[in-house]
Structure formats: C-alpha cells, structure tokens
C-alpha cells in the first residue's frame, strides 16, 4: 500500500466532515417529516414542492456520504484516476452547494423583509398565507399528537386559534431553516474547494513517489 501523504491525511479528515454532513442531512429530513410539516402540506398546492425539497435533501445527504467514502478510499489507495474523477465531481458539487447557499440566502432575505413589514408584505404572501398560516398550527398539533393526522390534531388542540398568529412564528422558522442552509451550503462549498486542492496535491504526490521509485 502506498504511503499516506500529508495531503491525503488532510483529505481524509475533510471527507469525514463531509460524511458527518451527509448524515446530518438525512437526520434533518427525518426530523422534518416527523415534525408534521410534510403531513400538513398533503393535498395542498405545495405538496409537490415539499416532496421535491425533502427528496433533494435525501439525495444531497446520500451523495455527500457516497462522495466522502469515495474520497477516503481514494486518499488511502492514492489511485490517480480515482482522485481525478473525484476532483471533477467535487468541482460540480462545489458549484451546486454554492447555488444552494445563494438560493437560501435570497429566501432568507425575503422572509426577513416580510417579517419587518405588516401583512401582506407583497401580493405573493397573501397567496402563501392561505395555506401556510394554518400549516404551522397543523404541524404543531401533529407534533404533540403524532398518532392522528395533522389537521385532526389541530382541530382538537386549537379549535379557536387564529391562524394569523402563526405568521410570525412561521417566518421565524423559515428564516432559521434558510439561515442554516446558507451556512451549510457555504461551508460545504468551501470544503469541496479544499478537497479539490487536496486531491490535486495527493495526485501530484503520487506522481512524485512513482518517479522516485523508478529512479
């Protein structure tokens, strides 16, 4: 087995971080579904969007875990072709995580603007409010009584609740989640860039070792 270089060792450490990030994404998806948000959006015009979002989180988590394992193996065995392929994929991942961070930042900015403005902040919020003002209450009901549907729990625990009171709470949740995605996307993009650099150093070290061996 080839001697593990410094770049390879650092690459393993960074990929362990990627592995943890992937696991956290999968846990986030499970938490999101168990909280009742997905159930609350059933049979609404936002159901497909919610399903697409949770599927995307699942895919990102799976891809992060897979790439972390491939990166660790590549750093250990120092296969130049594998490291090259890994570098190309990580460049694509870096771009994807950058787009994710930018999109989340834009969404967070919009939600913050809405929070600082009286309802409706703009015409689009009026449309969103028809579903999402009630969604938070549905989800909380489901959270406290997860053996019933979200709407049944809401009707049981909050029969006289005004859904307009949920606006601020919903926006806080949206801002918090989008802020988390901004940080995660940005850190992942930076980590991907670092991994690309380390993979290049690992390939170069492998090439140097091969030349030294021939000499």
Instruction: Please indicate, yes or no, if residue 72 is contained in any of the structural domains.
Output: yes
Q: Using CA atoms, how far apart are residues 35 and 58, in angstroms rounded to an integer? A: 16
CA atoms within 13 A on the CB side of 149: 8
- Predicted pLDDT of residue 167: 64
Instruction: Please indicate, yes or no, if residue 207 is contained in any of the structural domains.
Output: yes
Overall domain count for the chain: 1
| Between 186 and 121, residue with greater pLDDT | 186
Instruction: Please indicate, yes or no, if residue 146 is contained in any of the structural domains.
Output: yes
**Residue position matching structure tokens 């969103």:** 128
Instruction: Please indicate, yes or no, if residue 1 is contained in any of the structural domains.
Output: no
As a whole number of angstroms, the longest Cα–Cα distance in the chain is 84
Q: Using CA atoms, how far apart are residues 100 and 181, in angstroms rounded to an integer? A: 8
Q: pLDDT band at residue 87, thresholds of 50, 70 and 90?
A: confident
| Between 52 and 205, residue with greater pLDDT | 52
Angle between helices 123-144 and 166-214 (to 10 degrees): 80
Structural domain range at position 210: 6-214
Instruction: Please indicate, yes or no, if residue 11 is contained in any of the structural domains.
Output: yes
pTM over 0.75: no
| Between 125 and 101, residue with greater pLDDT | 101
| Between 1 and 168, residue with greater pLDDT | 168
- Predicted pLDDT of residue 84: 78
Report pLDDT digits (tens) over 130-162.
Answer: 555 555 555 555 444 554 455 555 554 455 544
Report pLDDT digits (tens) over 1-22.
Answer: 556 667 677 878 888 877 887 8
């Amino acid at each position: 087995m080839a001697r593990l270089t410094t770049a390879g060792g650092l690459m393993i450490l960074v990929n362990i971080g990627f592995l943890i990030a992937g696991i956290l994404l999968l846990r986030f998806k499970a938490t999101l579904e168990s909280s009742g948000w997905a159930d609350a959006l059933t049979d609404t015009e936002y159901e497909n969007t919610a399903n697409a979002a949770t599927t995307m989180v699942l895919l990102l988590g799976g891809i992060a875990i897979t790439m972390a394992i491939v990166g660790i193996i590549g750093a250990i065995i120092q296969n130049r072709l594998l490291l090259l392929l890994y570098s190309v994929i990580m460049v694509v991942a870096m771009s994807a995580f950058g787009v994710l961070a930018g999109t989340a930042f834009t969404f967070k900015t919009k939600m913050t603007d809405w929070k600082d403005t009286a309802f409706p902040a703009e015409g689009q919020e009026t449309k969103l409010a028809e579903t999402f003002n009630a969604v938070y209450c549905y989800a909380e009901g489901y959270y406290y009584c997860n053996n019933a549907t979200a709407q049944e729990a809401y009707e049981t625990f909050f029969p006289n609740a005004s859904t307009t009171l949920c606006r601020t709470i919903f926006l806080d949740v949206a801002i918090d989640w989008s802020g988390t995605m901004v940080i995660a996307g940005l850190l992942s993009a930076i980590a991907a860039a670092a991994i690309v650099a380390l993979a290049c150093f690992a390939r170069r070290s492998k090439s140097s070792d091969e030349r030294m061996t021939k000499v």
